[in-house]
Amino acid sequence: MVKRTSIRFVNTHKYQHILRKISIKSTDNPTTTAERFKILFSELGVNANEVAVKLGESNGKFYNILTGKAEPSFKTIQQLTEHYPLINADYIIRGQLPVLHKSGAVIEGGGGSARGKIELPLFEAGTGYAGQQDTYTLPVLEKSAGSYSSAVVIRLTDNSMQPRYPVGMRLLARPVPVADWDYLNSALVMVLYRSTLVVRRIKENELVLKDLLTLYADNDDSGFVTVKREDLKSIWQVVDIVGVDTMP
Tell me what pLDDT residue 211 has.
95
Long-range contacts of 30-34 (CB under 8 A, 24+ apart): 30/95, 31/95, 32/68, 33/65, 33/68, 33/71, 33/72, 33/92, 34/65, 34/66, 34/67, 34/68
Whether the per-residue pLDDT at 191 is higher than 60: the answer is yes
Q: What is the DSSP letter of 185?
A: -
Tell me what pLDDT residue 232 has.
95
Tell me what pLDDT residue 39 has.
87
pTM of the model: 0.56
| Banded model confidence at residue 208, pLDDT cuts 50, 70, 90 | very high
CB 71 within 8 A of CB 65: yes
Question: Structural domains in the chain?
Answer: 10-103 (1.10.260.40), 115-244 (2.10.109.10)
What residues form DSSP beta bridges with 244? 169
Q: What is the distance of C-alpha 156 from the center of its chain?
A: 17
CB 125 within 8 A of CB 222: no
Helices (H), the chain: 16-21, 33-44, 48-55, 59-66, 74-83, 89-94, 207-210
Query: How far separated are the first and last CA of the chain, in Å rounded?
Result: 44
Q: Of residues 48 and 206, which shows the higher confidence score?
A: 206
Tell me what pLDDT residue 182 has.
92
pLDDT in tens, 30-74: 578 899 898 888 877 778 888 888 888 888 888 899 999 998 888
Tell me what pLDDT residue 15 has.
47
Whether the per-residue pLDDT at 143 is higher than 70: the answer is no
pLDDT in tens, 89-129: 778 887 888 887 654 333 333 333 445 778 889 999 876 77
How many other β-carbons are positioned within 10 Å of the β-carbon of residue 110?
13
**Angle (nearest 5°) at CA 165 between 164 and 168:** 145
